[in-house]
Amino acid sequence: MENWLTLIIGLPTANATARMRAWRALKASGAAVLRDGAYLLPDSPACREALVAVERDILAVNGTAYLLPIRDPQGERFVQLFERSADYAKLLGAVADCRARLNAKNALTTTKQVRKLRKAFAQLAHIDFFPGQARQQLDAALQELETAVSRALSADEPSSHEQPIAVLNRRDYRGQLWATRKRPWVDRLASAWLIQRCIDPAARFLWLESPQDCPAGALGFDYDGATFSHVGNRVTFETLQASFALNAPGLQRVAALVHYLDIGGVQPMEAAGIERLLAGLRETLSDDDQLLAASCTIFDGLLAAFEKEGSNDE
């Protein structure tokens, strides 16, 4: 690394507000301190933009500010000034503490803490100009925690069994009563949406206290012994897809999202946001029919966005 940027500043002693504002902006940018009033960042468009903004603010309050480019063949010596391992270790400890306290009862409230941890990670990663193993380790730990929270929200997840999946005729499954466990989470909500949208538009849903309460004439889903549940590496949503040959590209992207939020794997970019929305709905809506109706709006919008992106790529 040979190209760097240095900002040298001087602020009126009496203007404590401006001094604090400049310090906060420099800290947020990830700038290293060379000495009092001298700050360093790698020369990149984003870093230059951050320092230009600080320079402009300081000049506006009659301070002094000089943004200078530096080319140093021995610039690697500055890299150690941007070491973030201690910051990652602190966050990793918070993730571990959160994971240790997680249980089915506090899973929903834990999602708020996980969101804060993910935001803190994003902020740290943004100023980690020379990332290493510590960043990867924390990201992996956060993904594991997010998966654990999702599973805790649905602690009685069905076990998976290897079995062939026959392709069924949707016309034979119209106007049915569909049953699953009450207080649905991602897989059950998405599966109910898929049933209603693509399989049985007149579907009625029964929310079971226990799978044993399922009436003989109902089609059960997402519990052990149900008509449709986990098969192999497929979550219930994916089993329904395969059973009714629902292979549109937009649905495949929804399936990837549901799969990750239910049992982990590769994280789609939309996962964290959708999980937050669904967690908020589940926390505020105690009626499962209302929860499903609100969730269907989210999945409708998500599918529409995926389909639009797909058509734009053609």
Cα–Cα–Cα angle for 137, 138, 143, nearest 5°? 100
Q: Are residues 56 and 101 in the same domain?
A: no
Q: Are residues 143 and 272 in the same domain?
A: no
Examine the fold and report which residue of 47, 81, 115 is the final residue of a domain before the chain moves on. 81
Examine the fold and report which residue of 48, 81, 114 is the final residue of a domain before the chain moves on. 81
Q: Are residues 94 and 174 in the same domain?
A: no
* 7: CATH: 3.30.70.240
159 is a domain residue? no
pTM of full prediction above 0.85? no
Q: Which alpha helices (DSSP H) does the chain contain, by range?
A: 16-29, 45-60, 85-101, 107-126, 133-153, 186-194, 236-243, 249-263, 271-284, 288-313
* Euclidean distance between CA atoms 189 and 168, whole angstroms: 21
Q: Are residues 55 and 96 in the same domain?
A: no
Give the pLDDT confidence score for residue 310 in this predicted structure. 77
Give the pLDDT confidence score for residue 238 in this predicted structure. 97
Phi-psi region of 55 (alpha: psi -120 to 50; beta: other; left: phi over 0): alpha
227 is a domain residue? yes
285 is a domain residue? yes
Tell me the residue range of the domain where 264 lies. Answer: 170-313
Give the pLDDT confidence score for residue 114 in this predicted structure. 87
186 is a domain residue? yes
Q: Are residues 95 and 128 in the same domain?
A: yes
Give the pLDDT confidence score for residue 157 in this predicted structure. 74
Give the pLDDT confidence score for residue 155 in this predicted structure. 63
250 is a domain residue? yes
* Inter-residue contact 111 to 275 (CB < 8 Å): yes
Strand partners, 161: 231
Give the pLDDT confidence score for residue 263 in this predicted structure. 82
Examine the fold and report which residue of 56, 81, 106 is the final residue of a domain before the chain moves on. 81
Q: Are residues 62 and 98 in the same domain?
A: no
254 is a domain residue? yes
As for how many domains the chain has, the answer is 3
Q: Are residues 174 and 308 in the same domain?
A: yes
Question: What pLDDT, in 10s, does the model give residues 115-152?
Answer: 889 889 999 999 999 999 999 999 999 988 887 887 78
158 is a domain residue? no
* Euclidean distance between CA atoms 11 and 47, whole angstroms: 21
End-to-end CA distance of the chain: give it in Å, rounded. Answer: 40
Q: Are residues 264 and 308 in the same domain?
A: yes
Q: Are residues 75 and 196 in the same domain?
A: no
160 is a domain residue? no
Q: Are residues 196 and 271 in the same domain?
A: yes
* Euclidean distance between CA atoms 208 and 206, whole angstroms: 6
Ranges of residues in the chain whose predicted pLDDT is under 70:
155-156, 311-314
Q: Are residues 211 and 259 in the same domain?
A: yes
Q: Are residues 211 and 306 in the same domain?
A: yes
